[in-house]
Amino acid sequence: MPPPPPPLPYTCSLYYGLDHNNFGHVCSLSVLFIQYDAVLLPSCTPSFMVRVMEMLSEEANTQPQTSTHQKEDFSFGKILGEGSFSTVVLAKELATGKEYAMKILEKNHIRKENKVHYVIREKDILSSIDHPFFIKLFFTFQDSHKLYFALSYAKNGELLRYIRKIGSFDETCTRFYAAEIVCALEYLHGMGIIHRDLKPENILLNEEMHIQITDFGTAKQLSSESAQKRANSFVGTAQYVSPELLTEKSACKSSDLWALGCIIYQLVAGLPPFRAGNEYLIFQKIIKLEYDFPEKFFPKAKDLVIRLLSSDPGERLGCEEMGGFDLLKGHVFFETISWGNLPLQTPPKLTPYLPAMAEDDQDFYGNQYEDLLSQMSSLQVFPSSSAQILPMRSRSNIEQYIHDLDSNSFELDLQFSTEEKQLLLQKQISGNPWHQFVENNLIYKMGPVDKRKPNRTYYLMDPSGNADKWCKKIEEVWGTVYH
């Protein structure tokens, strides 16, 4: 390790490494707890310590740059997304009118959670990426409390939103967006970078509806100085985690190909292939490669998914051991794709393969629930005040017990007999677009809710103010199952 750098002439301290005026300056990217005595966090790797020391030594002979941006230069609007230690807000530069997705990070929270290395890594990776299928980092700055990343604004939001909105994509749409993800991964892996958290939530759509992959906080830059091919840390989202991360606690480039297989499956089926009641059960299914294809899954897409969802990372189509991305792009599913000018092509209109769930709305499902209920127009309704235990009913009048709640949701009485529940299930299968998500179970209550996720705690809020009725129905279902 090189000796500690000489005292810096232009600042009294680099305490926490984040108090320098210009966050884009090398000096301000130093890891937390670096001071003149070169004390570093124990969690820092030797190679990272060497890198920081070298940067500090170089900085000692230079003058700090003057920050060209500050928060007063922008007007801040709606929240675009929230992460575990950041918030992304729509920001308009007052001088130019240009819009950015401004990622804002709290310094105190970064220090408390020991996440500085993630912040540094994300900035380094974003600064090195120059490809139309990725979010672009334009500049960074900071104030006394916060860090700011000015990112390109993907106006059409998350791919996940559209999967939820229309249910599933037809073959043309699935092929096009899968091809764009393949192109993005080919570029990323060529840079020696693993994303490690590829999922529809991290795939945004720009104004022209092309993809822009985001969220590189858990990405990994593989070392070019060694034969390093794996990243040894557990990151990712349960439904898209590759089996090697569960069994060997390490990810590789092929781990992103596994996630690609999960995403292609989800584009067609509407849900990821591995799902269960909790993360442990999801992980067990992944390790056992336990998943099924729904009926009418596109045969060519099915073959591609099978080749991507291999338990052995070295056998996944597209990995280096299998011939790389040329063979992946040559799969029969992509036979109509013109790879050379994909970013310049006009994306196909999003068309559902399964019945559409709802029209476009900001809350995915909320504003059009009455339209969904109208699809069940053959079901008669009665006031929700009827909560007493009901007598046995004949087949001819079961439907009258399906009733409307506040014109925006409905619930079923739990006192139906087994035979009556089967009749209701048959009607649900034929008339309820949400049935595909409940694994052949009878829906007792449904309605729009808003999701909030402060600090990874999920709050589901009924915009119509009927949270107490949701709680009551949950308690009733719980009592029916366990008593």
- Catalytic center residues: 197
Q: Which residues pair with 194 in a beta bridge?
A: 220
The stretches of 279-388 forming alpha helices (DSSP H) are: 279-288, 299-308, 325-329, 369-374
Q: Kindly list the distances between the CA atom of residue 82 and the CA atoms of 97, 128, 212, 343, 453, in Å, as whole numbers in the listed order.
A: 24, 24, 17, 28, 8
Angle, alpha carbons 427-430-433 (nearest 5°): 110
Closest CA to 348 of 165, 160, 180, 203: 180
Site of tokens 């990323």? 188
User: Do 147 and 83 contact (CB within 8 A), yes or no?
Assistant: no
Q: What is the residue type of 219? A: A
User: Could you tell me if 342 and 180 are in contact, meaning their C-beta atoms sit under 8 angstroms apart?
Assistant: yes
Bridge partners (DSSP) of residue 134 are: 213
Task: Find out whether 103 is annotated in a ligand binding site.
Answer: yes
Six-digit token pair at 19? 């108090």
The SS3 of residue 31 is: coil
User: Letter for the amino acid at 366?
Assistant: G
DSSP labels for 245-302?
Answer: HHHTS-EEHHHHHHHHHHHHHHHHHSS-S---SSHHHHHHHHHHT---PPTT--HHHH
CA nearest to 373, candidates 398, 399, 413, 409? 409
32 neighbors 116 (Cβ within 8 angstroms): yes
**Which alpha helices (H) appear in 432-466, and where do they start and end?**
none
| Other Cβ atoms within 10 Å of 138 Cβ, number | 13
Beta bridge partners of 81: 88
Give the separation between CA 276 and CA 285, rounded to whole angstroms.
Answer: 8
- The dihedral region occupied by 33, where left means phi > 0, alpha psi between -120 and 50, and beta the remainder, is left
Please report, in angstroms and rounded to a whole number, the separation of the first and last CA atoms in the chain: 65
Amino acid at position 274, single letter: F
Q: At what angle do helices 299-308 and 253-269 cross, to 10 degrees?
A: 150
Tokens 């034969």 found at: 227
Q: Which of 138, 143, 40, 142 is nearest to 93 (CA)?
A: 138
Residue positions forming the annotated binding site for ATP: 103
